[in-house]
Structure 1
Amino acid sequence: MTRIGPLDVVDVFVYTVVLGLFVQFFPEVISESFLITLLTAVLLKLVLELVTWVKKSLLARRRARRGVRRGLNLAMLILVLPGSKLLVLELTALVFRGEVQLGGFFLVTGLILVLMLARRGTRRLFRSSPVAADAAPARRAAE
C-alpha cells in the first residue's frame, strides 16, 4: 500500500477546483456546499486511483498473455472503461444521498477527462519546477 503524498493532496485540491467549475457552468452538476464538493473530490480521487490501477493491471496482463486470455483481458478492459463512469455516478449517489449530482453518463465522462488532464498538467508542472528538481536528489537519497 502506498502512502499519501503531497501530490495526492494537490490532486484533491485540483479536483475540487474542477468540480467547482463544473458546478458553476453545468446546471446538471449540483453540489450542496463547499465541504460536500471537497468530500466529492476525495471520493473521485479514490475511485480514479482504483480505476487507473485496474486499467494498468489489465493492460499489463493483456501484454503478457496470448490467445483466449488476451481476448478476455481486452473484453474486461472494454467493460471497465464505461463501468468506471457508472461506478462514479452510483458511489456519489450512495455516499452523498442527493447532495451531489454529477449529471449523466456523458457529463461524468467529460468531468473525468478534465480531471485526468488537470492531474497530468499539475504533475507535469511539478516535475518541471526548479524546486521539485532540487528536491529530487534528496528524495532519492532518502529512499
Structure 2
Amino acid sequence: MTGQTRPRRRPLRAWVVVDPADVIDVFVYVVVLNLAIQYLPAVISETFTLSLLTAALLKVTLELVLLLKGVVLARLRGATTRLAKATSALMLWVVAAGSKLVVLWLIDVVFGGSVSLGGFIPVTVLVLALLASRAAVRRLLYGKTDAN
C-alpha cells in the first residue's frame, strides 16, 4: 500500500445524530419502566440491563408511532369531506390501538420471555405514563413539550 492513502475515518459522532433530549427520554423511560416492574405484577424484566434495552426499544418505537400519529393528524386536519374525516379518524384509532399491539409484539420478538409488559391494558397504562413523564421532564428542563 505504498503511495496510497487510506480513506479518513469519521468519528462515531459524525455518524450518529443524537439529541440530548432523546438520551434523557431513555433515562426517563428506564425509571418509569422499572417503577412499573416494581409495582405492576404483569410487567416483568429479568435484569436491569434488559429494562434498559427495553426502554431504548420503547423510545424508538414510540418515536415512530408519534411520527405516524402526526401524519394521520395532519391528514385529519386537512380533510374536507366527511368520508375523509371519518377515514382519518379511523386511521388515528388504528394507530393508537395498534401501536400497543406492535409494542407487545416487538418486546416478545426481541426479548422473548425475559421481558413482559403484561397485556393490552398494562402496556397502554405504561405507554401513557412514559409519554406523560417524558412531557413533564421536557417541560421541566426545556420549558416546553413536543407541542411547542
Instruction: Tell me which interval the TM-score lies in, with the shorter structure as reference length.
Output: 0.7 to 0.9
2:1 is the alignment partner of 1:9: no
2:47 aligned partner? 33
Normalising by structure 2, what TM-score?
A: 0.82
State the identity as a percent.
49
2:133 is the alignment partner of 1:99: no
Q: When you count helix as a share of all residues, which structure comes out higher?
A: 1
Aligned length: 128
2:123 is the alignment partner of 1:108: yes
* Cα distance, 1:69 vs structure 2: 2.4
Q: For 1:77-105, what per-residue CA distance to the aligned partner results, in whole angstroms no more than 9, with x for missing partners?
A: 11111101111101000110111000111
Cα RMSD for the two superposed structures: 1.6
Normalising by structure 1, what TM-score?
A: 0.85
Q: For 1:101-134, what per-residue CA distance to the aligned partner results, in whole angstroms no more than 9, with x for missing partners?
A: 0011111110001000100011001124xxxxxx
Gaps of 5+ in 2: 1-15, 144-148
Give the SS at the match of 2:113: coil
Q: Which runs of 4+ in 1 moved over 6 A?
A: none
Give the SS at the match of 1:97: helix
Q: For 1:44-77, what per-residue CA distance to the aligned partner results, in whole angstroms no more than 9, with x for missing partners?
A: 0011101111111101011112212232111111
Structure with greater Cα Rg? 2
In structure 2, C-alpha distance between the alignment counterparts of 1:49 and 1:95, rounded to whole Å: 18
2:79 aligned partner? 65
